[in-house]
Structure 1
Amino acid sequence: MFWRSVVVKLWFTILLFFSFVLLTLTIFLLQFFQNFHETQAREELEQDANKIISVINGQDDRQLMTTTIEQITDPSKRVVLVFNREDYWKSSSKDQELESLDINWFYSNEEFKQVLNHEDSTYQKTTLPDTDREILIVGQPLENQNGAVFLYESLDIVKETTSQTTTLIFIAAGIAIVLTTFFAFFLSTRITAPLIKMRKAALELAKGEFHTKVPILTRDEVGELAIAFNRMGRQLKYHIQALNQEKEQLSSILSSMADGVITFNRSGEMLVTNPPADRFLSLSTFEKGDNQEEEVTPLELKSTLERVIASEEEVTQEIQLQGRTFVVIMSPLYDQLYIRGAVAVIRDMTEERKLDKLRKDFIANVSHELRTPISMLQGYSEAIVDGVADSKEEKNELAQIIHDESMRMGRLVNELLDIARMEAGHIQLNVQEVELEPFLNKVLNKFKGMANEKEITLKPQFQLEEPVVRFDPDRMEQVLTNLIDNAIRHSYKEGNVELQVISNGEHMKFSVKDSGSGIPEEDLPFVFERFYKSDKSRVKRKGSNGTGLGLAIVKNIVEAHKGSIDVHSKQNEGTTFIFVIPRNL
């Protein structure tokens, strides 16, 4: 974690670079000063040798000459004057460890022999015989006579000077490293401090805090980077807000659409759905008996998606679910030239199909309902006119039939007028306070004779918290009469008809349940439509010749009471009509 820091990396890099430079410079300086001190010592020895030669050339007195030489020569050095093997002179030295060299040592050295032979001057760094002490020796031939001057001194002085210089260099290098460390840390901190702030700001941006800004402390590249970062944050905030607005707008549009919309990826997974599409999926899941919590793409839509991907064209399909008709229009979605998925628009066409069916059936139903009484009126009236009925009794019988059929036609027309007024919103309710239990018993008593005739048991089940409620008793009696009458007429012999009323809270719930043959699933959406008859064969049975307008009137009365009505049915198990109205209208 420590080495991941930019400050540490930059500091260590600068320190390593300066340390390398200082180390290299120190090595070169040490080498330079060592050579410099040796060169300086050699030059001093050569200067002293030249002085000694000048003294020798200017003095003939050997004693005065040697005395002068000792006076002008550094006491730490030794001088050797060689005229020949037998004639030579050696000076003394205050350095007791600087031993006097044997004259034969000079003659045994090839370079010094050249000096003695007046061939060339020389200098040499060597060690004293039988010791490890280094010396620097300079030899120059004498002018105008045979012999040479040899001057030498110990290199310990040079080494000591070099050591002092080395110490100073190392101290300076150490100080430079300390200063470099401080400077590198200061510089890296100055450079990385804005970067650290940008890092924190970037993390805040990642969390959605788009108001975060980086302070601009300098006008260099780092400052320009901070300016660019702040500009990026503002642009990002603007674009995110724009995307959120577009997303909310799209979500609102999808939610408010009457048609279902589902988008799929290429593998068939659902990405986006709206409420109508969710209802379609719930119907599909219920029909297949699948209780999974997650929505699974129906097989019909998967097959349609495969066709869209294969053909790269729009595909239209009609699907039947729970007695409802849906039309699916699926179009491909492209990622440039590649199909990345599809979008399906699901339209519930049940109402359209129902309206088409009603438009087709309305005239046929009205014609059918009116044709029978009109034919009977025409036939029996012709019989009277033609004198077929001779006796008064026969004429009265024919007149009674004509009267009954005319009454039937009147009821049909009145019911059609009632429905027209209700659907136009002209229904008038006479709301009163009603004692609920006596009212329900009164309705049930009307059907005891009919129920006993068919051997059907009436089962009242009342749960009444409030005995008095408010509604239109005549209209509500019409609703219950119609529902109970249908339940008895459509129940099998020895069956049951149950009237359940629950009055608690703000609403009342009425339920009329029979044990009849039930209603086919495909007819359930149409039960409250005019002239609906689920089982056409029952029309011909005695007591089952209704007009098919009762349930349409029931629905309008319930809705006029600000309630709702629904039906549940399974074939061979029975039918249940449930409606709910407010307790105090």
Structure 2
Amino acid sequence: MQRKIFGAFFIILLLGIFLTGFLNLSLIRSSHLRELENRLVTNGLLIEQFLREHDGEITEKELRRIAEEYGKRINARITLIDDRGAVLADTRAKEEEMENHAEREEVKAALEGNTGKAIRESVTVNEEMFYVAIPVSFQQSDLRVIRLAVNLRQIQQINRTLFYYIGISILVGLLASLMLAYRFIHKIMEPIRDMTEGTKKIANGGFDKRIEVSSDDEIGELADNFNHMAERLKVTIGQLSENNTKFKALLTSMKNPIVAVDNKHRLILLNPAAEELFQIRMEDTLGKHILEVVRNNVLDDHLKEIFENNLETQIEISTHEPEKILKIYSNPIKLEEDPNKIIGIVALIEDVTEIRRLEKMRSDFVANVSHELKTPLTSISGFVETLKSGAIDDEDTKQRFLDIIDIETERLTRLIDDILTLSEIENIQARMVRQAISTSDVLSEIGEIMRPIAANKEIELLTQIEANLPIITGNGDWFKQMLINLVDNAIKYTQNGGKVYLNAYQKYSNIIITVKDTGIGIPKKDIPRLFERFYRVDKARTRKVGGTGLGLAIVKHIVLSLNGRIKVNSDVGKGTEFIVVIPVK
């Protein structure tokens, strides 16, 4: 800024000095020309008076002599011209060699009765001349114009002298002015530089910076105002920082996602929970339209409805990226001083995906349990009614019906036992009960338990269990239940004469358990739903072999309780393989 002020001052000073010098030169030149003009007019009038006294007595030769004589006396060139513009006499040239002067500017004016004047370079003497022509009238003579001229060498010499002295004056005045200006500007700029430095420190967080200026002029007042502003700014920033810290802590501590948008549906706020929900970062999405983040037209329509009606509402929507069911409680953001003006919307989001999934699961579970219980109960009730109606007297019929009732009762017992087992596995408190499980011993024990059951169906159960497998922690009874369910399923769905393989080994930090059979297999389309409760690939066959539809659901929950995972490989007509991966740690 100092350079700009100094540069502007220099230019203004330079323009002022040069303008003053130019005006002075113009004024001196104009004054000199006026004085010269007056002198030439006076001399011309004297010549006219002399010639008028001798009107009719002077010959052309005498005119030439008079012109030369007077020209020497007044140190000027005298030219006498007739009414046609022809030169009658001239002090510098022979009149017969001179061209007609009727079109010369000053002569033309004089022939019209006015005093003419002009400045130009003379063709005759090749010098810049100042001409003055005065009109005259004689009765005995053709003389009509007396023209006097002097060269401007004197004025040019005066101008050069003036240029020299003015140049020296400009140079000295300019240097002195620049030195004074530099000191003055430097003194003015010093507190401004201090304030500039202070603003930099304040911008970087140094709110304790103050400006010390001793003057009581506008700069001093500005410094006092600056210090007052810095003090107020320090207090305000402190309050804003404290409020911002509390606000951030509040947003961070809230588990529910919070989203705020402006009137154009552009994001202005996301808390960490919302960032996690939508897998985005606030700095990457601020200013973007809400649909660029949450691609859901229902949400956008809901926001428009809030803006139009000033509503405080709640809705439930489904999103695809990510797949969630969200319950949104929205409120318009209103100005404190103008409650009728809405500047945006803040929405508190509750992820109810798991709640809705559990509700659906519970609803499906109740429906399935009701259906599964109703079938055997209906059978039992029907056979009891038949027996009451008289079939009890037929020994063969009675025994057959009682056997069926016994089978259905056993099926009900198994179903209730599986439901209770599944409920226990899903109980969080039950999952907390953990004990050391000797994996190799339990697997060998299961092999011995299930081998006779397989032999009854003429199925060969082959086990290959790695010795000294690592001990895992979990519910030992559940672990046995998982293995029994897998091996029992393999035996049930394998034809007589088939084989079932139970293998276990350690790979890296995992225990791998595989149960493979040579049975009927599972269609590819059914594998993704295999672990759903009450899902059966072939319902008729499942009931025939005594399945409840909960065995694999129990297996999956037990595997999850051990922090493991399970997958299935199967080909229809070739068999099925269940692979359980349990981490050692």
- Report the TM-score when normalising by structure 1: 0.52
2:94 matched to which residue of 1? none
Change (3 A) 1:348 1:354: same
1:191 matched to which residue of 2? 188
Q: Give yes or no for the alignment of 1:546 onto 2:515.
A: no
Rounded Cα–Cα distance in structure 1 between residues aligned with 2:505 and 2:316: 44
1:14 matched to which residue of 2? 9
Q: Give yes or no for the alignment of 1:326 onto 2:329.
A: no
2:248 matched to which residue of 1? 248
1:182 matched to which residue of 2? 179
Query: Contact between 1:305 and 1:330, CA under 8 Å: does it hold in 2?
Result: no
Rounded Cα–Cα distance in structure 1 between residues aligned with 2:15 and 2:322: 88
Query: Contact between 2:260 and 2:345, CA under 8 Å: does it hold in 1?
Result: no
Query: Contact between 1:509 and 1:580, CA under 8 Å: does it hold in 2?
Result: yes
> 3-state DSSP class of the match of 1:9?
helix
1:276 matched to which residue of 2? 277
1:431 matched to which residue of 2? 435
1:492-571 equivalences under 5 Å are 502=506, 504-505=508-509, 508=511, 516-517=522-523, 527=532, 532-535=533-536, 537-538=538-539, 540-541=541-542, 543-551=544-552, 553-554=554-555, 557=558, 563=563
Query: Contact between 1:308 and 1:332, CA under 8 Å: does it hold in 2?
Result: no
> 3-state DSSP class of the match of 1:211?
coil
Aligned partner (choices 353, 362, 365) of residue 366 of structure 2: 362
Per-residue CA shift, 1:259-281, capped at 9, x if unaligned? 696969969999955322339xx
Q: Give yes or no for the alignment of 1:209 onto 2:207.
A: no
Rounded Cα–Cα distance in structure 2 between residues aligned with 1:520 and 1:341: 46
> 3-state DSSP class of the match of 1:388?
helix
Rounded Cα–Cα distance in structure 2 between residues aligned with 1:568 and 1:351: 28
Q: What displacement does 1:192 show?
A: 3.6
Per-residue CA shift, 1:129-185, capped at 9, x if unaligned? 99xxxxxxxxxxxxxxxxxxxxxxxxxxxxx9x999998887665443222212222
Q: What displacement does 1:497 show?
A: 7.5
Rounded Cα–Cα distance in structure 1 between residues aligned with 2:320 and 2:15: 83
Amino acid at match of 2:177: T
| Contiguous gaps of at least 5 residues in structure 1 | 1-5, 35-104, 113-124, 131-159, 280-294
**Percent identical residues:** 16
Rounded Cα–Cα distance in structure 2 between residues aligned with 1:223 and 1:332: 50
> 3-state DSSP class of the match of 2:206?
coil
Amino acid at match of 2:252: S
Rounded Cα–Cα distance in structure 2 between residues aligned with 1:412 and 1:215: 86
> 3-state DSSP class of the match of 1:535?
coil
Amino acid at match of 2:362: L
Rounded Cα–Cα distance in structure 2 between residues aligned with 1:128 and 1:342: 100
> 3-state DSSP class of the match of 1:547?
coil
2:380 matched to which residue of 1? 376
Per-residue CA shift, 1:257-312, capped at 9, x if unaligned? 2x696969969999955322339xxxxxxxxxxxxxxx995996258647966997
Rounded Cα–Cα distance in structure 2 between residues aligned with 1:556 and 1:389: 48
Change (3 A) 1:475 1:31: closer
Rounded Cα–Cα distance in structure 2 between residues aligned with 1:297 and 1:456: 60
Q: What displacement does 1:366 show?
A: 4.7
| Contiguous gaps of at least 5 residues in structure 2 | 30-42, 51-72, 78-90, 92-156, 281-289, 335-339
Q: Name the stretch that deviates more: 186-195 or 165-174.
A: 165-174
Q: What displacement does 1:209 show?
A: 2.0
Change (3 A) 1:458 1:448: same
Change (3 A) 1:211 1:250: same
- Report the TM-score when normalising by structure 2: 0.52
Query: Contact between 1:519 and 1:534, CA under 8 Å: does it hold in 2?
Result: no
1:142-541 equivalences under 5 Å are 174-196=171-193, 209-211=204-206, 213=209, 215-217=211-213, 220-225=217-222, 227-228=225-226, 231=230, 234=234, 237-238=237-238, 241=241, 245=245, 248-249=248-249, 252=252, 256-257=255-256, 273-278=274-279, 301=296, 305=300, 319=318, 326=325, 347-349=351-353, 351-356=355-360, 358-359=362-363, 361-362=365-366, 365-366=369-370, 368-369=372-373, 372=376, 375-376=379-380, 379=383, 383=387, 388=392, 405-419=408-422, 423=427, 425=429, 431-432=435-436, 434=438, 436-444=439-447, 467-469=470-472, 471-486=474-489, 502=506, 504-505=508-509, 508=511, 516-517=522-523, 527=532, 532-535=533-536, 537-538=538-539, 540-541=541-542
Q: What displacement does 1:365 show?
A: 1.6
1:137 matched to which residue of 2? none
Query: Contact between 1:263 and 1:344, CA under 8 Å: does it hold in 2?
Result: no
Rounded Cα–Cα distance in structure 1 between residues aligned with 2:321 and 2:165: 101
Query: Contact between 1:262 and 1:345, CA under 8 Å: does it hold in 2?
Result: no
Q: What displacement does 1:10 show?
A: 0.9
Change (3 A) 1:173 1:424: closer
Query: Contact between 1:461 and 1:500, CA under 8 Å: does it hold in 2?
Result: yes
Query: Contact between 1:324 and 1:350, CA under 8 Å: does it hold in 2?
Result: no
Instruction: Provide the aligned length of Structure 1 versus Structure 2.
Output: 453
Query: Contact between 2:380 and 2:408, CA under 8 Å: does it hold in 1?
Result: yes
Rounded Cα–Cα distance in structure 2 between residues aligned with 1:462 and 1:126: 145
Rounded Cα–Cα distance in structure 2 between residues aligned with 1:20 and 1:220: 30
Q: What displacement does 1:253 show?
A: 6.2
> 3-state DSSP class of the match of 1:326?
strand
Rounded Cα–Cα distance in structure 2 between residues aligned with 1:387 and 1:433: 53
Query: Contact between 1:264 and 1:271, CA under 8 Å: does it hold in 2?
Result: no
Amino acid at match of 2:275: N
Rounded Cα–Cα distance in structure 1 between residues aligned with 2:495 and 2:199: 77
Q: What displacement does 1:8 show?
A: 2.0
Amino acid at match of 1:209: N
Amino acid at match of 1:443: I
Rounded Cα–Cα distance in structure 1 between residues aligned with 2:494 and 2:188: 92
